[in-house]
Amino acid sequence: MATTKQIILPIVVLTIGIGAFAGISALQKPPEEKPAIDTTPLVSIETIEYQPMTFSVSSYGVVNAKYTTDIIAQVSGEITYLDPAFVKGGFVKAGTVLAQIDDSDYQSDLLDAQANIATAKASLVQEKANAKVAELEWARITDSEPTDLSLRKPQLAQEIARLKSAEAGLQRATRNLERTIIRAPYDALIASREIGLASYVSKGTPIGTLLNTDIAEVRLPLADKEIQYLESKGVNANVTLVGNFAGSKHEWQAKIVRSEGVVDSKSRMTYLVAEVSDPYGLKSNSRELRYGTYVTANIEGARAGDVTIVPRHLIANGKVAILDEDNTLRYKDVTMLRQDGSNVVISGGLKNGMRLITSALDYPIEGMKLKLPQDKLLQSEPTDTSLEATVQLTMDSGE
């Protein structure tokens, strides 16, 4: 027969267990309800804005003189004079005497030619007198028609020819004497000098090379497709040249003066020629643009009208993605005028104020709802405020 202890002990243990379970259950918090997750894709946008634009075309080239002249000796002789500025890199004015060849022999030739002229003139006068006498004598002897020989016409023609030959010799001697003085044909930079003082030159000997300093030229290659963006095929267009001078970049203004009119057989490019006035700043004190400088060129083109610029990667099959007023994805066809590097010039299909989607979408479907980052932020702000209030209330209760 069970004792009282054996009966009471299980009841006490069971009561304690039930109480402990109730206490633990009371300490447990009910599971919190998780807010619904918003899976609407977020996108970034740019606002479309049309602005007037003028096309420009880029090119490059090397600066050269418009005129390059090789000075050649036209007579023979010893160099008796050299101008101090007649050295490589020297600047000379038009008409400057660069060098002089010994002219003593050519002075003698000039005297001989002048003497021949005097002799020819005297012979001509005498022959004219002889012809006049012959004509009078023929008329006194007979009434018949005289012959040319009777009137000494052949002899007269011969003397006239001798005078003309003497005159030609005088002109030749005068030119040769003038050619002993070598002058600069224009304002020039000396590119090279091939002679020295007291050296002997013969006809055809190189004297030096001159570069004109009034105008510089730059040949600018253009692909055929780029010409469509220029007015009048680029002729008379303004050009900005950019190059290095004294370790820093500088700009010079130029103008397209002509097209070479052919397509280069090797590069398949068309060349436009730009001119720069006074490249060395000798007359205007402007910054010098040295011959041989490599420059990049920005050629002013035709007016494009009102256009907008869109990154090339945002265009697919001639369409761009737009976020409409209802935050819905829409695709718009666009009219592309030109691709300029990573951008495309758009002339139609969009309107001012449209929102262009610039971020990528994983699975874009026209008509799908989208959100902007700021919309997401505004939606989350009330939740954060409620949480702060709950925390504050708990702290107040604890106090």
CB atoms within 10 A of CB 112: 13
User: Which token pair is 292?
Assistant: 């041989």
Structure tokens at 4: 């009282």
What SS3 class is residue 126?
Answer: helix
* Whole-prediction pTM: 0.70
SS3 content of the chain, % helix, strand, coil (to 5): 30, 35, 35
Q: Calculate the alpha carbon distances from 145 to 149, 156, 174 in Å.
A: 12, 19, 45
Residue 290: strand pairing partners: none
Angle at 43 between CA 40 and CA 45, to 5 degrees: 145
pLDDT recorded at residue 377: 60
H or E segment to which residue 246 belongs = none
For 58, residues 6+ apart whose C-beta sits below 8 A from its C-beta are 296, 297, 298, 299
Residues with Cβ within 8 Å of residue 61, at least 6 apart in sequence? 218, 219, 220, 221, 274, 294, 295, 297
In the predicted model, residues of the chain with pLDDT beneath 50 are 1, 383-399
CATH class name, domain 45-50+315-374: mainly beta
CATH number of 61-65+214-303: 2.40.30.170
Listed in sequence order, the residues at least 6 apart from 309 whose beta carbon sits closer than 8 Å to its beta carbon are 343, 344, 345, 346
106, two tokens: 């050519």
Residues 6+ apart with CB under 8 A from 112: 169, 173
* Chosen CATH of 70-102+180-213 out of 3.40.640.10, 2.40.50.100, 3.90.1170.40, 3.30.465.10: 2.40.50.100
Residue 167 to residue 197: CA distance in whole angstroms = 34
What is the C-alpha to C-alpha distance for residues 387 and 398, in angstroms, rounded to an integer? 17
Q: CATH classification of 104-178 is 1.10.1740, yes or no?
A: no
Distance of CA 378 to the CA centre of its chain: 51
Backbone angles phi, psi at 194, to 5 degrees: -105, 0
Give just the sign of the alpha carbon dihedral 200, 205, 211, 214. Answer: positive
Tokens of 372: 């902007």
Domain spans in the chain, listed from the N-terminal domain onward? 45-50+315-374, 61-65+214-303, 70-102+180-213, 104-178
Measured torsion, CA atoms of residues 329, 335, 338, 342, in degrees rounded to the nearest 10: 0
Residue ranges of the alpha helices (H) in 28-147? 104-141
What is residue 198's DSSP assignment? T
pLDDT the model gives residue 122: 92
Provide the sign of the torsion angle of the four alpha carbons 55, 61, 64, 66, taken in this order: negative
Distance separating alpha carbons of residues 228 and 90, to the nearest angstrom: 43
Smallest Cα–Cα separation from 310: which of 39, 45, 75? 45
Per residue in 87-119, pLDDT (tens digit) is 999 999 999 999 999 999 999 999 999 999 999
Q: What residue type is assigned to position 297 of the chain? A: A
* Radius of gyration of the CA atoms of the chain, in A: 50
| Bridge partners of residue 193, in order along the sequence | 208
Q: Which residue has the tokens 């020989």?
A: 149
Beta sheet of 77-82, edge-to-edge order: 181-183, 97-101, 77-82, 200-201
